[in-house]
Amino acid sequence: MKTPPKTSPKTPTETPTETLTGMPMGTPSVDVPAPRPPRESVAPPVPAAPPGTFRLATGGLSVLVPLRPLLAGAVLALLLVAVGTVCLAVGDIAVAPLDALRAAVLGSGSPRDLLVVEELRMPRIEAGITVGAALGVAGCLMQTLSGNRLATPDTVGLNNGATAFAVAGIVSSSTSLLPSATALTGAATAAVLTLALSGGAGQRGYRFLVVGLGVGAVFGAVTNLILSRARIDAANAAFAWTVGTLNSRSQTAVTVLEVGLLVCLPLAVVLGRRLNVLRFSDAVATGLGVRVRPLRVAVLLTSVVCAGLAVAVAGPLGMIALAAPEAARRLTGPGPVPVLTSALAGAVFTLLADLIGRTVMAPLEIPVGLVTAVVGGPYLLWLLLTTRTRRTP
């Protein structure tokens, strides 16, 4: 009855890759007592950190830093600085990149440079970075939550809800009712509607996605209805809110978004460890000691807040929430859920799209939302055509 286990069958063996250990406090590696008769060699020493990670430890505390995501993050951060510098320098009034950087970072330079950089371009870049980061995080969380790469704030109706409310606000009142406030209300309304109709975050979030599509379609129709019945000047004013732009942002909304990010980003990172487990089935996650329902609710709320605040700044900026996490996942590999990498990728994409929109047909400006749609559509197709079929994520 208790025969020794069969040896594993006919598979080519790979030598275990050398582990990358980077322990400042070098804990001596320990031999595992071999539980069974060793085959051809003694058990190798226990690696201090799993392959591809870097362990920081002091006392009883330890943090595991995955190397590839770290590298991806560093590359994206550098890219962000580069794109940001170009954004500061390029425009109707050209500023030398180094001067622009100096004006932005040190606040020194000629008065003209300072005016252009600090007053005109910095706020816009700030808005672009925060909006992109928020959308990236929101998309990453929602995709992980539902186990579906198509589940993003745009697809579950948040963007359309925000647009419908903002447009309704602009069209219905001559006084400038703060569009970003109405947009935020709209995003929240769409989220609540979707949540209520789909009966909570639900199993695997599939129902949530489908209901979100429906809610989004209804809000989209409402927007079109309002626009078709509005006076032409009101419709014109409302147009910006139907495409997504960084041009007519409100500084208050940007500040609110920044506060939101300050709360949501650390929260997303803290949730991130358990979020990794959420990619398995609920049963596996529970077996590993994760309370699935509260976690789902927390992740969903974080995602909705990020997306709602971002939409309140820039309008329904499409595709970022879809593309950024996807790019992040490709860069970081199959390790942890790339929350921060998605934020960085989102920021880079948004800045880049805005830069293209500002320069390609200068002095005419293309709203960033149109750029992301034009670039994002083919990207989505490419994504669908190039990824191999996968099992349930």
Q: Which helix (H) or strand (E) holds 58?
A: strand 53-58
Whether the CB-CB separation of 378 and 110 falls below 8 Å is answered with: no
Using CB under 8 A as the criterion, what x/- string covers residues 310-349 for binding another protein? -----------------------xxx--------------
Q: How far is the CB of 43 from another protein (least distance, A)?
A: 7
Binding range to another protein, per CB under 8 A, among 163-171, 184-192, 277-285, 345-353: 277-285
Binding range to another protein, per CB under 8 A, among 177-185, 201-209, 238-246, 266-274: 266-274
Options 24, 37, 111, 289; binder of another protein; rule CB under 8 A: 289
The pairs formed by 80-84 with CB atoms below 8 angstroms and a separation of 24 or more are 80/129, 80/344, 80/347, 80/348, 80/351, 83/348, 83/351, 83/352, 83/355, 84/125, 84/129, 84/351
Number of residues in contact with another protein, rule: CB under 8 A?
Answer: 59
**What's the DSSP call for residue 334?**
T
Tokens of 92: 């109707």
Q: Does the protein bind another protein through residue 24 (CB under 8 A)?
A: no
In the complex with another protein, the residue whose CB is nearer, 254 or 271, is: 271
Q: How far is the CB of 147 from another protein (least distance, A)?
A: 9
Q: Does the protein bind another protein through residue 363 (CB under 8 A)?
A: no
Q: How far is the CB of 239 from another protein (least distance, A)?
A: 41
- How many Cβ atoms from other residues are within 10 Å of residue 221's Cβ? 12
CA distances from 211 to 115, 151, 217, 250 (A): 47, 11, 10, 31
- Cα–Cα distance, 310 to 308 (Å, whole number): 5
The amino acid present at 265, given as its one-letter code, is L
Q: Does the protein bind another protein through residue 3 (CB under 8 A)?
A: yes
What are the residues binding another protein (CB under 8 A)?
1-9, 11, 13-14, 16-17, 27, 30, 32, 34-36, 43, 46-51, 53, 55, 57, 60-64, 270, 273-274, 276-277, 279-284, 286-291, 333-335, 390-393
